[in-house]
């Protein structure tokens, strides 16, 4: 009965978990599903030929070939591993920066808190799109002819640099709440060092909302990566990147009325992958918020 009650109240989270689990299995098993054509660069799309017109699904290529004859199924499979790697890397970088700034700001307060929060507000006021454009222009040699590898590195750094602020504010609020608890005041009275208080007493109790933010953020990171890849900000070389695959199919999205959606296989599979991946993580984030929020959990149990 408890299992059915849990599923009834957290059905969305279960669905999201299953979606992400399927993507995770595909990402882990990618070398077994479709072996890498180039061991030195497994994310490079293999090409059947150098033709321009996409080819529809066939027995040899179940999802067809995109423009320049890149294997769409190969791109989807290895793109899943790429999406996990990039999103988790960016989320980890944001979390580390946000947690450090949030803890120092909340614990030491006063002048340091004022400075760190003003810096946080300054970063919040800067649009992410503009930040990426500026960083690509300054450090990538401009937007035209930029090499794929360097562009992707700059994009990752930009997403981390201008995405940690929510983590910092969340952790700061949790630290301010925990700092006034009796067990922290007792540790201070006994002469415990600030380092011990932060890492042993405060840090383990500041995870409230952090897990929810991370899971929800992973979904949005993939969308942002896809947007920048679609716009060509991560280089132009065809790779197993869902955003680049949609970018590669942009000339075939709109056809004459008589042949509408003739080339659906070039853009629908990678678009669905982006949507489902983001949707799954968002469902997990929403479910965890409902599960960890005492007020919502109490209403569900009544």
Do 141 and 189 meet the contact criterion of CB atoms below 8 Å apart?
A: no
pLDDT classification of 258: cutoffs 50, 70, 90? low
Do 228 and 155 meet the contact criterion of CB atoms below 8 Å apart?
A: yes
Instruction: Give residue 144's pLDDT.
Output: 43
- Two structure tokens written together for 52: 């321009």
Instruction: Give residue 46's pLDDT.
Output: 77
Instruction: Give residue 195's pLDDT.
Output: 81
Instruction: Give residue 149's pLDDT.
Output: 52
Is residue 146's pLDDT more than 50?
Answer: no
Instruction: Give residue 88's pLDDT.
Output: 93
If you average pLDDT over residues 221-240, what whole number do you get? 80
pLDDT classification of 294: cutoffs 50, 70, 90? low
If you average pLDDT over residues 225-234, what whole number do you get? 82
pLDDT classification of 24: cutoffs 50, 70, 90? very high
Main-chain phi, psi angles of 238, to 5 degrees: -65, 120
Domain ranges of the chain: 2-36+61-301
Is residue 153's pLDDT more than 90?
Answer: no
If you average pLDDT over residues 204-225, what whole number do you get? 86
Instruction: Give residue 100's pLDDT.
Output: 92
| Distance between CA atoms of residues 91 and 150, nearest Å | 20
If you average pLDDT over residues 160-174, what whole number do you get? 91
| Percent of all residues in the chain with a pLDDT value above 70, rounded to a whole number | 86
CB-based contacts of 198, cutoff 8 Å, min separation 6:
103, 107
Q: Domain 2-36+61-301: which CATH class?
A: mainly alpha
Instruction: Give residue 4's pLDDT.
Output: 59
**How much is the mean pLDDT over the chain?**
83
Instruction: Give residue 117's pLDDT.
Output: 93
Instruction: Give residue 270's pLDDT.
Output: 92
| Percent of all residues in the chain with a pLDDT value above 90, rounded to a whole number | 32
Write out pLDDT tens, residues 89-135. 999 999 999 999 999 998 888 889 999 999 999 999 888 888 888 88
DSSP secondary structure string for all residues of 16-79:
HHHHHHHHHHHHHTHHHHS--S-TT-TTBPPBS-S-SS-B---SSSTT-B-GGGBBHHHHHHHH
Is residue 302's pLDDT more than 70?
Answer: no
Is residue 43's pLDDT more than 80?
Answer: yes
Q: Treating both helix axes as pointing N-terminal to C-terminal, what angle do 110-124 and 72-108 enclose, rounded to 10 degrees? A: 150
Instruction: Give residue 282's pLDDT.
Output: 92
Is residue 76's pLDDT more than 80?
Answer: yes
Given the structure tokens 């991946």, which residue do they identify? Answer: 277
pTM of the model: 0.85
């Amino acid at each position: 009965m408890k299992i059915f009650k849990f599923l009834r109240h957290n059905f969305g989270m279960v669905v999201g978990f299953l979606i992400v689990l399927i993507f995770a299995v595909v990402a882990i098993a990618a070398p077994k599903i479709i072996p890498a054509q180039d061991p030195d660069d497994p994310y490079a799309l293999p090409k059947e030929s150098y033709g321009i017109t996409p080819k529809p699904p066939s027995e040899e290529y179940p999802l067809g070939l995109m423009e320049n004859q890149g294997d769409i199924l190969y791109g989807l499979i290895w793109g899943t591993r790429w999406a996990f790697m990039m999103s988790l890397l960016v989320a980890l970088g944001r979390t580390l920066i946000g947690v450090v700034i949030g803890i120092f700001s909340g614990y030491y307060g006063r002048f340091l808190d004022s400075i760190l929060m003003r810096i946080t507000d300054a970063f919040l006021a800067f649009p992410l799109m503009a930040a990426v454009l500026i960083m690509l222009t300054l450090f990538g040699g401009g937007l035209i002819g930029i090499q794929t590898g360097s562009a992707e590195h700059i994009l990752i750094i930009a997403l981390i640099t201008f995405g940690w602020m929510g983590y910092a504010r969340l952790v700061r609020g949790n630290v301010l709440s925990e700092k006034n608890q009796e067990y922290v005041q007792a540790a201070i009275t006994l002469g415990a060092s600030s380092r011990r208080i932060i890492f042993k007493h405060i840090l383990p109790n500041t995870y409230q909302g952090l897990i929810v933010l991370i899971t929800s953020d992973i979904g949005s990171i993939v969308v942002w990566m896809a947007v920048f890849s679609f716009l060509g900000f991560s280089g132009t070389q065809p790779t197993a990147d869902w955003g680049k695959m949609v970018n590669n199919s942009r000339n075939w999205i709109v056809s004459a009325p008589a042949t509408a959606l003739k080339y659906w296989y070039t853009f629908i599979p990678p678009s669905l992958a982006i949507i489902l991946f983001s949707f799954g993580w968002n469902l997990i984030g929403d479910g965890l918020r409902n599960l960890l929020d005492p007020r919502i959990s109490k209403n569900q149990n009544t």
